A = this chain, B = another copy of it.
Amino acid sequence: MNEKSARASHPAENLGPNAGLIGRPGSRATLDTPALVLDLDALERNIAAMAAHARAAGVALRPHAKTHKSAEIARRQVAAGAIGISCVTLGEAEVMVHAGIPGVHITSPQVTKPKIARLMALNRNSPLGLSVAVDNPENLQALSEASSSSGKRLRVMIDFSAGHNRTGCATPADALALARASREAAFIEISGIQSYSGQLQHVAIRAERRARVLEQAEILRGLVRDLEREGIAVPVVSGGGTGSFDLDPEARVFTELQVGSYVFMDVDYLRAMKDGRNAPPFETSLFVQTAVVSVNAREYVTTDAGLKCFATDGPLPEPALGAPPGSRYEFFGDEHGKLFVPPGSARPGLGAHIECVTPHCDPTVNLHDFYHVVRGDTLVDIWSIEARGKR
């Protein structure tokens, strides 16, 4: 979708205080702050690079919407060849299905009564495909009963934990037993298996990351073999992440990758993936723009982006555009930050605009209502983050 048609899809009153700046040359430097800024050229290159990688490696993509929570970005991923979109929450899946995104898969088991009721409603209204992870026989039974009542079959992926132990069956034997039960369950259809090795995504040394990815793949391959030996087809093996995007295909077990962060490349991932010889073919596209609002402290200037603008579970934001090289950023309460410049550098003045690379992109995005989409120095569009806060 080009900028014009995307813009036309939103009513103007919902795009926040910067709506009037769309299309004005040089407007990036004058945003009402704090503002989440998305470099469209970089985003497009990241989406294209991952699509090319997947084609060359012979794997499909089902990118994770938990990273961007945006139907517009999902549409662009699908347009570049993704077979569907992964979601961690049911609320994200509702947004994606209603936006017409095909092949939506919910990576987290949906267990409680209210969630199962919403899942059934969504499944009835998903002409383009919906599946959900399952990791427990009791949950399988509840899903089967609800699907039977609703009259529409539900597609499930057997969730295998692979050492991460967040969700998923703990052992291949448990996964096999759950798959057998799923085959027998009324109104349940097995679409494949899912396995997310979250613990491997940020292993800093590439050689170590590779060894562990291949080791996990061997276990997963054994599970697939066991399932097929029982006549349970496994057309889909879904997993992987941005941190292992180039290793997962080598393992030759995943049919599709649930990569997420590659669209933005936050401080965290850039550090984890840069081990010198192997710079990733992705670049930073996401920033928070902040302005200097007080200059009375000796050691730093005070900016207007704090704990409520940046994720605080990872590294600190990294100053970029507008900040002298070598500057650093600290949080200073809910709505403020400290920008320290290196000795000898001029401090940005009152009202100056600075951009920072986001620390952990997913929870940072979840703090904002809009992407301020820029090409070079111009704001070209504003995209709602429709699935922000949706559970």
Q: Are B302 and A167 in contact (CB under 8 A)?
A: yes
Bound Cα distance from A15 to B205, whole angstroms: 47
**Which chain B residue shows the least CB distance to A297?**
B165
Q: How many A residues face the partner with a CB closer than 8 A? A: 66
Is A11 part of the binding interface, using a Cβ–Cβ cutoff of 8 Å? no
Is A161 part of the binding interface, using a Cβ–Cβ cutoff of 8 Å? yes
Given contacts A66-B335, A312-B312, contact A17 B350 (CB under 8 A): no
Bound Cα distance from A111 to B303, whole angstroms: 10
**Which chain B residue shows the least CB distance to A87?**
B335
- How far apart are A142's CB and chain B's nearest CB, in angstroms? 8
Residues of chain B within 8 A (CB-CB) of A135 are 294, 296
Given contacts A313-B307, A350-B136, contact A168 B391 (CB under 8 A): no
**Which chain B residue shows the least CB distance to A174?**
B296
Partner of A198, one of B113, B312, B331, B333: B333
Q: Are A109 and B293 in contact (CB under 8 A)?
A: yes
- How far apart are A194's CB and chain B's nearest CB, in angstroms? 13
Q: Are A336 and B167 in contact (CB under 8 A)?
A: yes
Is A368 part of the binding interface, using a Cβ–Cβ cutoff of 8 Å? yes
Q: Are B32 and A66 in contact (CB under 8 A)?
A: no
Is A115 part of the binding interface, using a Cβ–Cβ cutoff of 8 Å? yes
Partner of A34, one of B312, B360, B369, B391: B391
Residues of chain B within 8 A (CB-CB) of A167 are 293-294, 296, 302, 336
Partner of A113, one of B30, B170, B313, B391: B30
Interface positions of A from 161 to 213, Cβ below 8 Å from B: 161, 165-170, 174, 198
- Per-residue CB proximity of A138-180 to B under 8 Å, as 1/0? 1100000000000000000000010001111110001000000
Would you list 8 pairs from A and B whose C-beta atoms are within 8 A, ordered by A residue? A33-B112, A33-B114, A66-B334, A135-B294, A165-B296, A308-B362, A334-B363, A366-B367
By a beta-carbon cutoff of 8 Å, the part of chain A in contact with chain B is 17-18, 30-34, 66, 88-89, 108-115, 118, 135-136, 138-139, 161, 165-170, 174, 198, 291-298, 302, 304, 307-309, 311-313, 331-336, 350-351, 353, 360, 362-363, 366-369, 389, 391
